[in-house]
Amino acid sequence: MCVFCKIANGEIPAYKVYEDDDFLAFLDISQATIGHTLVIPKKHYENFFALEEEKAADLMRVVSKVSKKLKSALAFEAFNLLNNSGALAGQTVNHIHIHLLPRYENDGLRIEFSGKKLSEKEFKALLEKINSK
Ligand code: AMP
Ligand code: ZN
């Protein structure tokens, strides 16, 4: 059984900030910023792709609720939402989780996009590929 399933069923402890029948939010054991929280469905889903749309919507409702609770308790003005789906994206625990990352002045966290420029032709070809689905 995976580590987040064990947290969900109470086999191992966690610093819980929210719980209902289907979802759980708890402090990440390694606080990337103060208040770094993970939101999970209690049921095991490998990653974001494994979630049905309806369950994804339910998960985001909880993310919204928990982010507001954190914001009012910790009084931050900015935060990042992050999901790593797949090893290439940096997923290390294979039970879907959304990272809630409060942001503070000089918090040391870096999330960077080093964007690539595409030509108009490349954009059009890319769009055609995507929109053919
Ligand atoms: P990811 O790299 O997106 O799969 O993130 C996994 C996260 O789970 C990391 O930020 C870990 O610090 C966190 N983590 C792993 N084990 C535990 C645990 N037992 N309790 C709380 N957080 C954990
Ligand atoms: Zn699991």
Q: What is the average pLDDT score of the chain?
A: 97
User: Active-site residue 97, yes or no?
Assistant: yes
The answer, yes or no, to whether any atom of ligand 1 lies below 6 A from the CB of 3, is yes
pTM of this structure: 0.96
- Please name every residue paired with 58 in a beta bridge, in sequence order, or none if there are none: none
E strands present in 1-133: 16-19, 23-27, 37-41, 78-82, 98-103
Q: Choosing from 36, 95, 97, 99, which is the catalytic residue? A: 97
Token pair, residue 38, equals 């993970």
Confidence of residue 36 (pLDDT cuts 50, 70, 90): very high
- Give the domain ranges of the chain: 3-131
pLDDT at 118: 97
Which protein residue has the closest C-alpha to ligand 1 atom 12? 30
Lookup result for tokens 């054991």: 29
CATH class of segment(s) 3-131? alpha beta
Q: What is the pLDDT of residues 90-113, one digit of tens each?
A: 999 999 999 999 999 999 999 999
Lookup result for tokens 């069923």: 9
- 104: CA distance to ligand 2 center in Å? 31
Name the nearest CA neighbour of 95 among 34, 12, 32.
12
Lookup result for tokens 């935060």: 79
Looking from the CA of residue 99, the nearest atom of ligand 1 is: 3
Which protein residue has the closest C-alpha to ligand 1 atom 15? 29
pLDDT at 16: 98
Dihedral angle, C-alpha 10, 88, 114, 126, nearest 10 ° = -120
